[in-house]
Amino acid sequence: MNLVSYGIQTEKSHIRVHVCPIAKCVYIYPTENGIQAIDSGHYPDVHGYQKDVDFPTAKGYLVPPFDINCCVGLSFRDDAWDAIGFSPSDSTSEKGSKAVKLVLAMIKRGLFPFLAIAAISEITDKQLQVQGQDIIIASSAIHAHEDIVIQVKCDYAGGEKSLGGSGNLFLQTAERNPLKRY
């Protein structure tokens, strides 16, 4: 089974969020800036793996967070992370769901780095999630010309080394999903 093109370059998002539980930091940047970073040719491409699978299940680029233009990193109190309950033993689906829950809480509390918004909704439709849509912000809420789409990734070990992370974010460009985890 081969890897198929799927990731930052195929999703339909405006903003990308990497939730990094080990570093206890959330990194936010315009999706197009992440694509520019990987297209620069300056970063290594690597394979990713899922637990209980002995072959690569993803391919992507390791990019230091602040090498991505306009990337913002937000750290929170330990109890904010504890309330979500991230665990290394969580399934890929559980990690992703917890990451979305954290970002929704950030937005609702005005902790997201754009205008405070009232009209947000979580996308639960699996087809839309596969297209890279996890959260929709109604354009009328921020007087934009279109809805703002946010893609949330749980980048478990990602983040700055000084915070305990790997030093990079994993910007995925291909995958296979043999265990059918979403």
Q: Which domain holds residue 90?
A: 4-175
Of the listed ranges 50-64, 79-93, 128-142, the one predicted with least confidence: 128-142
Q: 152 is written with which tokens?
A: 């949330």
Residue 42 belongs to some domain of the structure:
yes
Taking residues 155-181, report their average pLDDT. 90
Residue 111 belongs to some domain of the structure:
yes
**Domains identified in the chain, total number:** 1
Q: Where are the beta strands (DSSP E) in 22-114?
A: 25-30, 45-48, 58-63, 72-75
Full-model pTM: 0.84
According to the per-residue pLDDT averaged within each range, which of 44-58, 76-90, 117-131 is highest?
76-90
Taking residues 20-45, report their average pLDDT. 95
